[in-house]
Structure 1
Amino acid sequence: MAPTDRLQQVREHLVGGAPSNKDPTRVDGHVILITGGAQGIGKAAADLLARQGAKIAINDVDAAKAKAAADELQAAGCDAFFLAGDLLDEAFPERLVNAVVARFGRINCLINNAGFCVDSAVHKMTDAKFDIIMKIHNYTPFRMIRALSSHWMDPANLDMPKSIINISSTSGLHGAMGQINYSTAKAGIIGMTKTIAAEWGRYNVRCNAVAYGWIDTRITRPPDGSETVALAGQEIVTGIPLSAKKWRDVSDIPLQRPGTTSDAAGVLLFLASPLASYVTGTCVECTGGRYL
């Protein structure tokens, strides 16, 4: 494709071939697959992207919540699909991608959002706790991306908009006490993001990450037993205890508050939309200014 043709394609992508007042935040007809999309940031992103015209594919390990999220979108007139399943099953990512392609005919954007924390001080961290966090935050995004390769490298799909958004954290950028496993994994996802951006740019794929700070979700609230992770035959309660007073202090956040899931979803819309058509290989920080 000649450079002038490519520039024209970008212009058409930005305005949809319509007059220049076309809303560039619209993602009309884009098929967006969100892992962990039934609650928290994932659900907020699904709701926002659907309102902006996307067709939404939701994955979550909780089948009831995944179905409820998809039903809610369908009731609002949006095109939504769900497939529940455990992403820690190494064969599941490929089944998930194939199911979404079978349902919608394509995938335009993958948001690797699924994840959880199992915290412990370094000297108390077990191999099992370390390993499961690496699997959900590194192996799973890698397998999801790899599963897209044949679909996105198909010459017939070369020119369609394609993007990946990986979820990182300020723990990955700055480290965090009690999170040696999570911090290591979230630092690793940034390296993965940059590598995919470098390798797959030739296939018209953008790949970016978002490093979130304190976003008010179930995973960042004090443990109450409602969220657990099965680990080595045990149910591990997730959440950040109230004793983490320094982390919960908003005095070092210029905006003086934790973020909402709506705040978090807005960044994902930007990266998925034509507004970010020349943004790739970067990590956007959504922190309220913490760590300036």
Structure 2
Amino acid sequence: MNTVDMFHLKGKVALITGGGRGIGKQIAESLSDAECSIAICSRKLENCKQTAEELQEKGIQVKAYQCDITNEEKVDQTVESVLKDFGRIDILVNNSGTTWGEDVENMPLEAWEKVMNVNVTGTFLMSKAVGKQMIEQKAGKIINIASAAGLKAEPPEVLNAIGYSTSKAGVIHFTKDLARKWAKHKIYVNGIAPGFFPTKMTKVVLDRYEDQIKEQNPLQMLGNDNAIKGVALLLASEASDYITGQIISVDGGSTL
């Protein structure tokens, strides 16, 4: 097989949570470049609709859905709708996430629970719902978006969000464990651990500490709009058919 052909996704369908903006949107752009059909969902439908309109200009099939990934009934309904509209789901990207910055001793319980529910429980619920269909078709690729914060402890002046970092560490182990459990079904489960990217979620931190973060990074840079696209395409395509249970850091070397 021609090496470039291994990255083609024509005839495949990807469901991307939080695909309306930021890293989720970048991944949607990447997979659509490989001719993959795209279903994107998030709690805010408007963001997804706008991204869907942009992707449709490439001539691919794309549709936006509203979904609260912490609600199992809503997750199941969304997955059923995607299967009805597209006929299958070959790739799942669990990207939706949230954070809450606060000193540990002052963090409200509801803040901790919100972060855990979105980042960990949401990843579980969506994987469970899509995984049932992938088990039936005996094939699938799941990509979980973790974080460099789940691999190392940042100083509080850079990242003071213990719920977020703990949740992303949970996503990392969930990825490895699920890969072990579902390998027999030919379902590949891998993760991406981004470092600092300019997104809505990181804006407050970067406004204060961007120079310091860059100085501590071996490549002395932040992620850009293209930095994650190649890795996402690798893990979604046949090119990664001997890779499962792995976490790829896209962080400029910050976790070295």
Cα offsets for 1:209-238 (capped at 9, x unmatched)? 11111112121112xxxxxxxxxxxxxxxx
Q: CA deviation at 1:244?
A: 4.1
Q: Does 1:149 align with 2:131?
A: yes
CA contact (8 A) 1:252 1:291 kept: no
Structure 1 unaligned spans of 5+: 1-14, 223-239
Distance 1:273 1:21, change over 3 A: closer
**What's 1:166 paired with?**
144
Cα offsets for 1:231-252 (capped at 9, x unmatched)? xxxxxxxxx2644467x43122
Q: CA deviation at 1:21?
A: 5.7
CA contact (8 A) 1:215 1:264 kept: no
Q: Distance in 2 between matches of 1:153 and 1:115?
A: 25
CA contact (8 A) 2:198 2:206 kept: no
Q: Distance in 2 between matches of 1:46 and 1:149?
A: 20
Cα offsets for 1:241-282 (capped at 9, x unmatched)? 644467x43122222210013212221111111111110001
Give the TM-score normalised by the residue count of structure 1: 0.82
Structure 2 unaligned spans of 5+: none
**What's 1:205 paired with?**
187
**What's 1:63 paired with?**
45
Q: Does 1:104 align with 2:104?
A: no
**What's 1:275 paired with?**
239
Q: Distance in 2 between matches of 1:59 and 1:211?
A: 21
Cα offsets for 1:168-199 (capped at 9, x unmatched)? 11111112331110111000011111111011
Q: CA deviation at 1:68?
A: 1.3
**Count of aligned pairs between the two proteins:** 252
CA contact (8 A) 2:135 2:187 kept: no
SS at match of 2:182: helix
Distance 1:21 1:266, change over 3 A: closer
Q: CA deviation at 1:153?
A: 2.0
Q: Does 1:41 align with 2:23?
A: yes
Q: Mapping of 1:175-214 within 5 angstroms?
A: 175-176=153-154, 177=156, 178-214=160-196
Q: CA deviation at 1:58?
A: 0.5
Q: Distance in 1 between matches of 2:107 and 2:206?
A: 17
When Rg is computed on C-alpha atoms for both structures, the one with the higher figure is 1
Q: Distance in 2 between matches of 1:85 and 1:124?
A: 30
Q: Which of these residues, 249, 253, 271, is aligned with residue 217 of structure 2?
A: 253
**What's 2:72 paired with?**
90
Q: Does 1:264 align with 2:228?
A: yes
Give the TM-score normalised by the residue count of structure 2: 0.93
Task: Flag as ranges the 4+ runs of structure 1 deviating above 6 A.
Answer: none
Q: CA deviation at 1:42?
A: 0.7
CA contact (8 A) 2:151 2:255 kept: no
**What's 1:80 paired with?**
62
SS at match of 1:263: coil
Q: Distance in 1 between matches of 2:168 and 2:227?
A: 20
Q: Distance in 1 between matches of 2:4 and 2:180?
A: 30
CA contact (8 A) 1:51 1:78 kept: no
AA aligned opposite 1:262 = N
CA contact (8 A) 1:217 1:261 kept: no
Percent same amino acid at aligned positions? 32
Cα offsets for 1:81-126 (capped at 9, x unmatched)? 1111222323211111111111111100100000121111111111
Cα offsets for 1:119-156 (capped at 9, x unmatched)? 111111110110000000000010001112331222xx
AA aligned opposite 2:111 = K
Q: Does 1:287 align with 2:251?
A: yes
Q: Distance in 2 between matches of 1:201 and 1:241?
A: 39
Q: Distance in 2 between matches of 1:65 and 1:28?
A: 25
Q: Distance in 1 between matches of 2:85 and 2:60?
A: 14
Q: Does 1:220 align with 2:202?
A: yes
